[in-house]
A = this chain, B = another copy of it.
Amino acid sequence: MSVNIKPLADRVLVEPAAAEEKTAGGIFIPDTAKEKPQRGVVVAVGNGKPDEPMTVKVGDKVLYGKYSGSELALEGKDYLIMRESDILAIV
């Protein structure tokens, strides 16, 4: 869960939670039918904007909107980089 990256300003790097690959009944869902995960863990945090310190910190489990952030591949893993304002809540 450690990555060597410094998000700029009020940006946050989030590792999305893995989507369930089976339905409750045990049927495999093909890749395109899986809904994008909306939960994740914060793995890197920017320094905030001037006079606006960051609220989330590394390790926080967060909820975010379905279409938030840009996808980013780092060392073979997919992350999302988004603004803190795209994060809805800490769970």
Instruction: Give chain A interface residues in 65-83, CB to chain B under 8 Å.
Output: 65, 70, 72, 74, 81
Closest chain B residue, CB of each to CB of A70:
B65
- Within 8 Å of chain B (Cβ to Cβ): is A29? no
Q: A90, B6: Cβ atoms under 8 Å?
A: yes
- Total chain A interface residues with beta-carbon distance under 8 A: 29
- Within 8 Å of chain B (Cβ to Cβ): is A58? no
Contacts of A37 in B (CB 8 A): none
- Shortest distance from the beta carbon of A89 to any chain B beta carbon, whole Å: 5
- Shortest distance from the beta carbon of A12 to any chain B beta carbon, whole Å: 10
- Within 8 Å of chain B (Cβ to Cβ): is A30? no
Contact with B along A28-68 (1 / 0, CB 8 A): 00000000000000001011001110011000000101000
